[in-house]
Amino acid sequence: TVRICLFTRDLRLADQPVLHAASAAGRDEVLPVFVSDPAVTAAGFAAPNRLAFLHDCLADLDRELRARGSRLLVRHGAVPAEVAALAADTGATEVHMAADHSAFARAREASLLAALAPLGVRLVTHEAVITAVAPGAAVPAGSDHYAVFTPYLRRWSGVPLRRPLPPPPRLRTPAAPVSDPLPPRPDADLLSPQLAPGGETEARRRMQDWLTGHLDAYADEHDALADDLTSRLSPYLHFGCLSATELVHHARASGTAGAQAFERQLAWRDFHHQVLAARPDAARHDYRPRGDHWREAPDELKAWQDGRTGYPLVDAGMRQLRAQGWMHNRARMVTASFLCKTLGIDWREGAAHFLSLLVDADVANNQLNWQWVAGTGTDTRPNRVLNPVAQAKRYDTDGAYVRRWVPELARLSAPAIHEPWKLPAALHAELGYPDPLVALDAASARFRARRGLD
């Protein structure tokens, strides 16, 4: 028997339930397949940074499969047509894939099911491959999802997890058909210069390093911008180079306060996925409309995108995003709050810019974190506004994060570095750094008026 293992964003061999089921634990033949589908590009998800990372992931997966007597078969085209053609060519009886819950993923699954049915080929989807706890596996009475994180976390923590599966030792794969080439890696000039390399091998190296070297300190240090002590595993989780289930097991086994805090962040990831699964429209529409009248302000939007708002912490975050295709969570919160609440620009504009650069960007985590910050999502305090100066003084106390990303300010020390407009005019003029785009007091008054809070 031949079964197809259709990889999507579960690009790994360790703790890989889809491959495990498709290979029937090594007895039958398995055809590992990845389809590079133009629909992904058309839907706006194929930013150069992510395409480069994906290329690395697929190259690594192919290498690791070959080391086990198998290989990755790549096709370019629409998933339903390509997979159906492969099933017909190889006489495959089943196609296995990870369950995924965005509107895009569901439509893809439905079309694949329709394409396979006339061939008599069964489509088997596997839950809890992309998240540790499947959407729908932790729901409150009378609803299809949790709208508030804390009760979700309590419930999530009690859901029994699968034991992580070891990578398969050997696999049997039919010799035909031949693979198309991997989707190309975009030219370097289109990419963030400090983009992390993709792939499971790199992911596991980073995970080991993180678990042994830094996890302990995470509870105390995760908000310290300059120290950069978070795991940076988000891109590897996004592409499934690492299993969220395995990470939760490691965190639980370590039993430290840092591990508990880390596990909580992994629960946030599952939380947003279960909101999106229940409300796929939340990728585009306000989850909780607040009657916002967003401002059209293209020059201010551009200044924010370019990291030239005149608020050093905001600019540092935006420049880190461009340089690395990644941004520290605290900086994501401050830059997002600045765009939606201080400038009054629609969260969709910000989310689209993040999507064009973030290597870890996915619909659930990006769109729903944006909505959380904008106050149109699941935050129980939707009207709080993060003050970029106060946040800078608290989380970048000595200014090292700003100095790293905003070289115009590198010779300033804290706290002056966080409020350069307060410097003597001549000194400020020498810096070549913009004046603040808006005054915070006025912006905050405008926000309160927009939300009808006064």
User: Residue ranges for the binding site?
Assistant: 218, 230-234, 262, 360-362
CA distance 415 to 399: 7
Q: Which is nearer to ligand FAD, 171 or 196 (CB)?
A: 196
Q: According to the binding rule CB under 6 A, does residue 370 interact with ligand FAD?
A: yes
Q: According to the binding rule CB under 6 A, does residue 254 interact with ligand FAD?
A: no
Q: Which is nearer to ligand FAD, 80 or 135 (CB)?
A: 135
CB-based contacts of 307: which residues, under 8 Å, 6+ apart? 314, 315, 316, 317, 318, 319, 322, 405, 406
Residue type at 239 in one-letter notation: F
The neighbouring-strand residues paired with 33 are: 6, 73
- Dig out the tokens for 203 from the structure: 């992911």
Q: According to the binding rule CB under 6 A, does residue 14 interact with ligand FAD?
A: no
CB-based contacts of 223: which residues, under 8 Å, 6+ apart? 329, 330, 395
Single residue of 269, 308, 348, 353 touching ligand FAD by CB under 6 A: 269
Minimum Å gap between C-beta 378 and ligand FAD is 11
Q: Return binding residues for FAD.
A: 218, 230-234, 262, 360-362
Q: According to the binding rule CB under 6 A, does residue 329 interact with ligand FAD?
A: yes
Tell me which stretch binds ligand FAD (CB under 6 A): 164-172, 283-291, 362-370, 412-420.
362-370
346 within 8 A of 35, measured Cβ to Cβ: no
Tell me which stretch binds ligand FAD (CB under 6 A): 21-29, 159-167, 286-294, 368-376.
368-376
CA distance 160 to 163: 9
Minimum Å gap between C-beta 411 and ligand FAD is 29
Single residue of 234, 245, 376, 378 touching ligand FAD by CB under 6 A: 234
Single residue of 60, 82, 286, 360 touching ligand FAD by CB under 6 A: 360
Strand order in the sheet with 122-126: 73-76, 29-36, 2-7, 94-98, 122-126
Tell me which stretch binds ligand FAD (CB under 6 A): 4-12, 140-148, 261-269, 382-390.
261-269
Single residue of 58, 361, 437, 438 touching ligand FAD by CB under 6 A: 361
- C-alpha torsion angle, residues 95, 98, 102, 104 (rounded to 10): -30
How many Cβ atoms from other residues are within 10 Å of residue 191's Cβ?
Answer: 19
Residue type at 213 in one-letter notation: G
Q: Which is nearer to ligand FAD, 342 or 366 (CB)?
A: 366
Q: Which is nearer to ligand FAD, 301 or 333 (CB)?
A: 333
Site for ligand FAD in 339-358 (CB under 6 A): 354, 358
- Nearest 5°: phi and psi at 38? -60, -20
CA distance 75 to 70: 16
Single residue of 149, 268, 338, 405 touching ligand FAD by CB under 6 A: 268
Minimum Å gap between C-beta 268 and ligand FAD is 4
Single residue of 18, 40, 316, 373 touching ligand FAD by CB under 6 A: 373
Single residue of 365, 376, 387, 391 touching ligand FAD by CB under 6 A: 365
Q: According to the binding rule CB under 6 A, does residue 230 interact with ligand FAD?
A: yes
Q: Which is nearer to ligand FAD, 108 or 273 (CB)?
A: 273
Strand 94-98 with 122-126, pairing = parallel
Q: According to the binding rule CB under 6 A, does residue 362 interact with ligand FAD?
A: yes
Closest residue by Cα to residue 316 from 339, 335, 343: 335
**Binding string, residues 169-208; x marks residues near ligand FAD by CB under 6 A:** ----------------------------------------
Q: According to the binding rule CB under 6 A, does residue 222 interact with ligand FAD?
A: yes
Q: Which is nearer to ligand FAD, 272 or 308 (CB)?
A: 272
Residues that bind ligand FAD in the complex, under the rule CB under 6 A: 222, 230-234, 237-238, 262, 265-266, 268-269, 272, 329, 332-333, 336, 354, 358, 360-362, 365-366, 369-370, 373
